[in-house]
Chain A
Amino acid sequence: MSIASSSMATPVDLSHHFSTEARLRQPNPMKAIWKLTRRKPNMVSLANGDPHFSLYPIRKVEYEMASVAEEDPVATWRRGPSAPSHNLVSSTYEPCALPLQTGLQYSHGAGLPDAQRVVTDLTNYYHATSDHMCTLTLGNSDGITKCFRLLGEPGDHFIADEFSFSSMTNVPLAQGIKWVGIKMDDGGMIPEELERVLAEWDLARGRRPHVIYLVPCGQNPTGSTLSLERRKRIYAIAQRFDLIIIEDDPYYFLQYDTPDHPTTALSTPFAASFLSLDTDGRVMRIDSFSKVFAPGMRLGWITSNALFHEALVTYTDSSTMHPHGFGQMLITEMMAPHGWQLSGFDRWVRSLRAEYHRRRAFFLDLFAREVSQTQLARATVPEAGMFVWIRVEIEKHPRYRADRRMQSRDVTGPRTNVKELMEELFERCLDGGLVIMPASIFALSADPKYDDMEDPVEDRLNYLRATFAGTEEAMEQGLTILGQVLRDFFSEEQK
């Protein structure tokens, strides 16, 4: 790591960022009672109605995991049933790091202490934290959703990339929160644009935005990764305008070298996160095991300042409750001396990175052969993540029009018919047997009353998002179809 550990010398008071709901929320009274069990050494408790562990019909859980003994464990693991494995066990009767009787109980909203320690150790290993604390979640969707409820008031505006992961950006809309999209280039969010929007904010529109949502590595959908320079600039803007940064970083471990490299060197360092720059405590970093283990784990964590951690715990105790025991037991055994340990986890994620680097190369080669040579689309090379952002050269389409504003006399409407043409292209892909994500589902809509409508996002929807996370077969078939569909779509006569 290149960033030295910093301490929050003068902790910034960020309590004014809480929503009304967060302020009104009372703690779960049963948790207060539960804490009293520790008041006296031999307190007899007839308080909590927790089923006794002797009544759990489960005695043992055994997870057969990949062995991480070798340097490139993912490559070994992919060999299939013959690959060596490593068993992790949580049991009532056998020795283990987290016995079943503890793992399957009701516990604290932050998660079991052992599991919390695991994610804290992981965070401290890869990032430079100061007074941050970890709270377990049920995955990124859960974590981010909770952050939105803690911070967002109806009428608030939140900031995100102009093309964003709409599974997340759709979440707070129902709460009455609106988005302001910031223009991007190949390197992600443009800091000057962010600054401009904040500096020129019209208060008639509502409170100035106080939350920014970012996916800094392998941004979804554009695949861009923010450079260290841009991260520092964005952090400085966040300090100047008092923003909370929600750092959604599911692809943190999937950061690649340039395509010239046959494979990412297993020793290449990972980029510095916003968390590592966070001297004020204004970053809420969202981590997940979904992409490095399996999505069905439904387990992740949030790293934040202590105040936000407390609020998250109170909220968790009044809603989803802590995550399931199995996942917590698994990661605890994994990090234990008899498990993978941190060094093994590190080998696994670096090896995974190499695997995705290979897939990216496979995809890009295919793309060059099947699509680029049509000259109707080109791919931006992602530095991280699982997606390629494909630019369709829509201006070359016979039915492309750039005179919509003159036709409609709407000075804030789209200038072109890119939106309609891309909808057609999406349908043509389906007809051709290919499902691919169109840019339109990721675009944040602007507010014509306030936003700069010089360059409406509707005119820039000529992109498709394709993944290299699937099988090689799917990539081969899919890109062949895409090449063909593009050729057919662009070759039609003018109607």
Chain B
Amino acid sequence: MASVAVDAPKFVDLTHHLAPEVLVRKTNPLKDIIRISWENPHLVSLANGDPHHSLYPIRRVEYEVASAADEDPVSAWRSLGASAPTQLLTSSRDADSPRLHQASLAYGHGVGLPDALRTVTALNNAYHTAPHHVATMTLGNADAITKVFRMLGSAGDYFLADEFTFGPMPIAAEAHGIKWVPVRIDSGGIIPEELERILANWDSRRGKRPHVLYAVPCGQNPTGSTLSLERRKQIYEIAQKYDLIIVEDDPYYFLQYDPPSTEAHSTQTQLKPFPVSFLSLDVDGRVIRIDSFSKIMAPGLRLGWITSQPAFQQHLVRFIDLSSQQPSGFPQALVSLLLDGWGLAGFDRWVRSLRLDYQRRRDFLLGLFEREVAPGGLASVDVPEAGMFLWVRVHLERHPRFTRKAEEVVEGARTNARELMQELFEACIRGGLLIVPATVFVLPTETGYEEEGSVHIDDRSNFLRATFAGSEETMAAGMPILGKVLKEFFADPSTARIDATSTVA
């Protein structure tokens, strides 16, 4: 990390956000003594029980990776297959400088391998403006987010998230007593006014006011929405006003697309720039940004990083030293070798090229949707600006068995949308298509605190999530099935349409 400038801004002290568990956590006492060794290399150490590197049975690891020399390296890599040009990256004990090899295979410090940290810091500096934040290596986004949730949440705390969100993360937090408050979204993501309203109107009898916002600002999962710069600034101001921590989960940051009407031969230089992250807006140090190599390299790397203010990092590292420890040396060595081998320019070419590839896939799936599904008028889709998913709206109100309860009924769902979607999901499976219904993504929340006059989440769950991350064959096979299943589902001849004004018993 570049040394801190003389006039470095003081980050706000946010330690009051930390769970009691964090504050009582003692350090790993052996690491304290080992640190004495590291900091004083002239001392003879009989302290650490580290196997000597001459006993590692691994002398060399060689990775054969894509070349990033081409303007559009992803295309070249995919189209040329086995004959695509490659680069060899080597980590070796017997090399001129075995340091990386040995360091990657030894026990290390919870913050991560210095080479890997240098790599991700360089990436942070290239794509964001956060010179005073620091990076900590993680095992990927799920690991990072669940650790951060544990560090910020005491049992009974309330956290905020999109009302449709990536289920596993909130569910993980529920196991240790965290409750969720949904924020209304539209096609542009979190509605800032809604966020503010929840915080301004918070009833303190319910519990402590929410102090953490979990956001996926680009290509939100599942809705595909991306927050505009304007909204990001508004949300950041709200976070400052109400003292929120923003957990910025951004796995699709690099997968940003143009509208499909853009010329088919758009080149790298014509692509719009990557958005300004919450991290780049973070003057207070209240953003904890979560990055991962999973979507831009491979999920099996199990490697990512957290960027935060230094005070938070201290607690995080202490937690890591007393749990999962730093990530494996293999992927850490790989990403550091990769950035050396490709250079920042090569990395940039790779991710921009990847973006184009996903954009082509998006357009392919959209094209299929237009042909196979849209003409029936039974479903529609907004064009996602980022990410890997289409959020398909099913026009349930056209279903013969769609029912709406009478106005007098105030509690719970007013329609049978949830049941119908479950039927549709099962019909898809019977038809040989697996697609994810919106119900999987509904943020788990307490009942009884819905806003007056609001439409219940179940009544707004008439969506399916379909991915364009798979192969073209899969997409070409899947869309016709969806079209067919929808037609049959809506043609449902089993019952006549129930009168809309009758009260359901």
The answer to whether A and B come from one shared complex is: yes
A-B contact pairs, 9 of them (CB 8 A): A45-B470, A57-B66, A66-B59, A166-B29, A293-B58, A298-B329, A326-B330, A326-B331, A474-B46
CB-defined contacts of A441 to chain B, threshold 8 Å: 29-30, 33
Asked if B45 and A470 sit within 8 Å, CB to CB, the answer is yes
Asked if A318 and B146 sit within 8 Å, CB to CB, the answer is yes
- Cα–Cα distance between A29 and B63 once the two chains are bound (Å): 34
**Residue B22 interfacial (CB < 8 Å):** yes
**Residue B434 interfacial (CB < 8 Å):** yes
Asked if B171 and A28 sit within 8 Å, CB to CB, the answer is yes
Q: A30-B168, A33-B440, A40-B429 are in contact. List 15 more A-B contacts (CB 8 A).
A: A29-B440, A44-B434, A49-B389, A57-B66, A65-B59, A66-B58, A66-B59, A104-B298, A291-B51, A294-B53, A296-B104, A297-B329, A319-B143, A386-B49, A470-B50
Interface size class of A (residues with CB under 8 A): 35 or more
Whole-angstrom distance from the CB of B389 to the nearest CB of chain A? 6
Asked if A57 and B65 sit within 8 Å, CB to CB, the answer is yes
CB-defined contacts of A24 to chain B, threshold 8 Å: 174-177
Asked if A26 and B174 sit within 8 Å, CB to CB, the answer is yes
Interface residues of chain B: helix, strand, loop or mixed (majority):
mixed
B84 nearest in chain A by CB position = A59
Asked if A105 and B299 sit within 8 Å, CB to CB, the answer is yes
CB-defined contacts of A323 to chain B, threshold 8 Å: 302, 328
- Cα–Cα distance between A355 and B25 once the two chains are bound (Å): 38
Asked if B51 and A430 sit within 8 Å, CB to CB, the answer is no
Which of A105, A320, A475 has the most chain B CB atoms inside 10 A of its CB?
A320
Whole-angstrom distance from the CB of B267 to the nearest CB of chain A? 20
CB-defined contacts of B167 to chain A, threshold 8 Å: 28-30
**Residue A317 interfacial (CB < 8 Å):** yes
Whole-angstrom distance from the CB of B146 to the nearest CB of chain A? 5
Asked if A62 and B62 sit within 8 Å, CB to CB, the answer is yes
Asked if B302 and A55 sit within 8 Å, CB to CB, the answer is no
Asked if A138 and B139 sit within 8 Å, CB to CB, the answer is yes
Task: Render A34-66 as a binary contact track against B, CB cut-off 8 A, 1 for contact.
Answer: 001101101111111111111111111111111
**Residue B435 interfacial (CB < 8 Å):** yes
Asked if B63 and A138 sit within 8 Å, CB to CB, the answer is no
A-contacting residues, B125-160, CB 8 Å? 139-140, 142-143, 146-147
- Cα–Cα distance between A53 and B49 once the two chains are bound (Å): 39
CB within 8 Å for A59 and B65 given contacts A352-B55, A386-B49, A466-B46: yes
Q: Which of A124-132, A139-147, A155-163, A402-410 contacts B (4 or more CB under 8 A)?
A: A139-147
Asked if A467 and B104 sit within 8 Å, CB to CB, the answer is no
B53 nearest in chain A by CB position = A294
**Residue B198 interfacial (CB < 8 Å):** no
CB-defined contacts of B176 to chain A, threshold 8 Å: 21, 24
Choose from B21, B57, B84, B470 the contact partner of A65 (Cβ within 8 Å). B57
Whole-angstrom distance from the CB of A96 to the nearest CB of chain B? 13
**Residue A436 interfacial (CB < 8 Å):** yes
CB-defined contacts of A74 to chain B, threshold 8 Å: 55
Sorted from nearest, which 9 A-B pairs have the closest CB atoms?
A325-B300, A296-B329, A104-B300, A296-B105, A326-B330, A294-B105, A104-B298, A318-B172, A298-B328
CB-defined contacts of A166 to chain B, threshold 8 Å: 28-30
CB within 8 Å for A174 and B49 given contacts A45-B434, A296-B329: no
Asked if A298 and B434 sit within 8 Å, CB to CB, the answer is no
Whole-angstrom distance from the CB of A321 to the nearest CB of chain B? 5
Which of A49, A173, A465, A481 has the most chain B CB atoms inside 10 A of its CB?
A49
Asked if B168 and A29 sit within 8 Å, CB to CB, the answer is yes
CB within 8 Å for A297 and B105 given contacts A51-B295, A478-B46: yes
**Chain B interface (Cβ within 8 Å of chain A)?**
21-22, 24-31, 33, 36-37, 40, 42-66, 68, 74, 77-78, 81-82, 84, 86, 92, 94, 103-108, 139-140, 142-143, 146-147, 167-168, 171-172, 174-177, 221, 294-295, 297-303, 321-331, 334, 338, 350, 354, 357, 387-389, 429, 432-436, 440, 465-467, 469-471, 474-475, 477-478, 481
Whole-angstrom distance from the CB of B164 to the nearest CB of chain A? 13
Asked if A77 and B57 sit within 8 Å, CB to CB, the answer is yes
CB-defined contacts of B46 to chain A, threshold 8 Å: 434-436, 466-467, 470, 474-475, 478-479, 482
CB-defined contacts of A78 to chain B, threshold 8 Å: 54-55
CB-defined contacts of A178 to chain B, threshold 8 Å: none
Whole-angstrom distance from the CB of A256 to the nearest CB of chain B? 15
**Residue A206 interfacial (CB < 8 Å):** no
Asked if A43 and B433 sit within 8 Å, CB to CB, the answer is yes
Choose from A53, A57, A291, A320 the contact partner of B143 (Cβ within 8 Å). A320
Asked if B328 and A93 sit within 8 Å, CB to CB, the answer is no
- Cα–Cα distance between A296 and B331 once the two chains are bound (Å): 10
CB within 8 Å for A170 and B28 given contacts A81-B94, A295-B50, A321-B139: yes
- Cα–Cα distance between A381 and B501 once the two chains are bound (Å): 87
Asked if A63 and B303 sit within 8 Å, CB to CB, the answer is no
- Cα–Cα distance between A25 and B178 once the two chains are bound (Å): 12
CB-defined contacts of B42 to chain A, threshold 8 Å: 433
Whole-angstrom distance from the CB of B100 to the nearest CB of chain A? 11
Whole-angstrom distance from the CB of B316 to the nearest CB of chain A? 13
Choose from A296, A298, A474 the contact partner of B45 (Cβ within 8 Å). A474
CB-defined contacts of B92 to chain A, threshold 8 Å: 64
B479 nearest in chain A by CB position = A46
B-contacting residues, A441-495, CB 8 Å? 441, 465-467, 469-471, 474-475, 477-479, 481-482
B175 nearest in chain A by CB position = A25
Choose from B81, B105, B324 the contact partner of A295 (Cβ within 8 Å). B105
Asked if A36 and B434 sit within 8 Å, CB to CB, the answer is yes
**Residue A375 interfacial (CB < 8 Å):** no
Asked if A174 and B21 sit within 8 Å, CB to CB, the answer is yes
Whole-angstrom distance from the CB of A24 to the nearest CB of chain B? 5
B87 nearest in chain A by CB position = A57
Whole-angstrom distance from the CB of A193 to the nearest CB of chain B? 24
Whole-angstrom distance from the CB of A465 to the nearest CB of chain B? 8
CB-defined contacts of A47 to chain B, threshold 8 Å: 434-436, 465, 467
CB within 8 Å for A60 and B63 given contacts A145-B322, A324-B328: yes
Choose from B63, B77, B84 the contact partner of A61 (Cβ within 8 Å). B63
**Residue A322 interfacial (CB < 8 Å):** yes
Asked if A61 and B298 sit within 8 Å, CB to CB, the answer is no
CB-defined contacts of B26 to chain A, threshold 8 Å: 170, 173-174
CB-defined contacts of B177 to chain A, threshold 8 Å: 24
Asked if A44 and B51 sit within 8 Å, CB to CB, the answer is no
Choose from A37, A62, A107, A220 the contact partner of B434 (Cβ within 8 Å). A37
CB-defined contacts of B74 to chain A, threshold 8 Å: 55
Asked if A297 and B328 sit within 8 Å, CB to CB, the answer is yes
**Residue A327 interfacial (CB < 8 Å):** yes
- Cα–Cα distance between A478 and B174 once the two chains are bound (Å): 51
- Cα–Cα distance between A360 and B474 once the two chains are bound (Å): 60
**Residue A6 interfacial (CB < 8 Å):** no
- Cα–Cα distance between A479 and B46 once the two chains are bound (Å): 9
Which of B31, B36, B43, B175 has the most chain A CB atoms inside 10 A of its CB?
B175
- Cα–Cα distance between A174 and B331 once the two chains are bound (Å): 30
Choose from B66, B147, B357, B469 the contact partner of A49 (Cβ within 8 Å). B469
Asked if B47 and A435 sit within 8 Å, CB to CB, the answer is yes
CB within 8 Å for A28 and B45 given contacts A46-B475, A106-B299, A469-B50: no
Task: Render A68-86 as a binary contact track against B, CB cut-off 8 A, 1 for contact.
Answer: 0000001001101100010
A104 nearest in chain B by CB position = B300
CB-defined contacts of A235 to chain B, threshold 8 Å: none
Asked if B51 and A30 sit within 8 Å, CB to CB, the answer is no
- Cα–Cα distance between A44 and B46 once the two chains are bound (Å): 58
CB-defined contacts of A435 to chain B, threshold 8 Å: 33, 36-37, 40, 43-47
Asked if B43 and A93 sit within 8 Å, CB to CB, the answer is no
**Residue A171 interfacial (CB < 8 Å):** yes
A464 nearest in chain B by CB position = B46
Whole-angstrom distance from the CB of A346 to the nearest CB of chain B? 13
